[in-house]
Structure 1
Amino acid sequence: MELAPILHHWGYAAVFVIIFVESFGLPTPGQTVMVAAAVYASSGHLNVWLVGFLAFTAAVLGDNIGYWIGVRGGRRAVHRWGRYVFLTPDRFARIERFFARRGSHVVVVARFFDGLRQFNGVLAGVTAMPWRTFVLHNAVGAALWVGLWVPVAYFFGAQLVRSHAEWWLLGFGVVGALVTAGFYLRRERASKSRADEPVGV
């Protein structure tokens, strides 16, 4: 898919819609369009902050649509239509078993992997993950995904440093991603520590 004409004519709407529909299972190039939009922003055609905001919002909302699909009839839909997006019953069964074991961790990292990025919401719904748990970990994953790729694409897409603002933007994105990951890891460790504490008799 040639993205330059799409971004030129549709701009922010293309970023939002393509990432949104990818996030509940349609085979569209969500990550590619986000990176392309950030590169496009580096030449002044789009606002990189708005690109990041729309990418994050579309990812979270789309994944929640996927979660609803999973809850309401995802298993039936996957078995009926999955072959059209290369999700065979055997492949789905393997993903589902892995997802059931790892759950919230998978939701956080899912955005960085094709297949999981498109179906992590559906799988969360199918495997009956509590919605609040899904929303929290999904938002963390989307923040890390956007916080890494958008500033990196913006900076390296320009292929030169025009001002200190680019360094600041890159640093903000990387630090934001690290802080978010650190918060998540601390929360997970604290939860595990509480679970491992002996129960008083």
Structure 2
Amino acid sequence: MAESMGVPLPGETALVTTALYAGSTHLISLQAVVATASMAAIVGDNIGYLLGRLIGLPLLVRYGERFRIGSDRLKVGQYFFMRHGGKIVFFGRFVALLRTFAALLAGANRMRWWYFLLMNACGGVCWATVFAGAAYLFGKQVQHVKGPIGLLLFVVAIGFVFAGMVFFRRHEKELEKRAKAALGDP
């Protein structure tokens, strides 16, 4: 739950470890592991969303210029969340750093709460089911695969971030125009 609120903790490792324990001892049911992880992810993300909504945007408006995030770039961020926020929240659940900050960013960028809740719940349940189920079914073998797959997903995520930065740099003015057209002026 804390990881989903924006605190960088090893939530995925805790989930896999608990599912491994459940699979090897059968003292905890897989359903209980999935339900607990899903609820913790959903509740934590909603707290993170609320924090982003209440203090995220004011902090970005006040201090964003120090990090080259002016009003035009803030508007582009809101535009991206308006257009692709559901995908960011859902798939962000499967990427370590994005899992930590997706809810905060969604709140700060004024994503509609009901849509955030839907995509967050779907992502949280899918994430918990996939990772806990794999650890439960495949036991210790998942530990051998988890490292390389996690590294691969991290490399793919870095690739997407880099490609996104290149795309943004090349199309920044066009994106600013689209954002202004979609959202209006401040």
Q: Which stretches in structure 1 are left out of the alignment for 5+ residues? A: 1-19, 81-87, 160-201
Give the superposition deviation at 1:89: 4.3
CA distance in 2, matches of 1:143, 1:90: 36
Matched, 1:27 2:27: no
Aligned length: 133
Q: State whether residues 79 and 89 of structure 1, in contact with CA within 8 Å, keep that contact through their aligned partners in structure 2.
A: no
Q: CA deviation at 1:58?
A: 0.1
**1:151 and 1:128 mapped to 2: Cα distance?**
34
Q: TM-score, normalised by structure 1?
A: 0.58
Contact conserved, 1:42 with 1:158, CA < 8 A, in 2? no
Aligned residue number for residue 38 of structure 2: 56
Detail structure 1 runs of 4+ shifted over 6 Å in the superposition.
none
Distance 1:114 1:157 in 2: 22
Q: What does the per-residue CA deviation read over 1:36-61, in whole Å, with 9 as the maximum and x for residues that have no partner? A: 11001111143322111100000000
Which of residues 65, 72, 85 in structure 2 aligns to 1:103?
85
The TM-score, its normalising length taken from structure 2, stands at 0.63
Deviation string, structure 1 residues 59-115 (Cα, Å, up to 9, x no partner): 0000000010011102455799xxxxxxx9469x79947545421111111110122
Which residue is 2:152 aligned to?
none
In the aligned structure 1, how far is the partner of 2:140 from the partner of 2:113? 40
**Residues 70 and 38 of structure 1: is their aligned pair in 2 closer, same or farther, counting only changes over 3 Å?**
same
The answer to whether 1:37 aligns with 2:18 is yes
The answer (yes or no) to whether the contact 1:70–1:122 under 8 Å persists in 2 is yes
Q: Percent of aligned positions with the same letter in both sequences?
A: 39
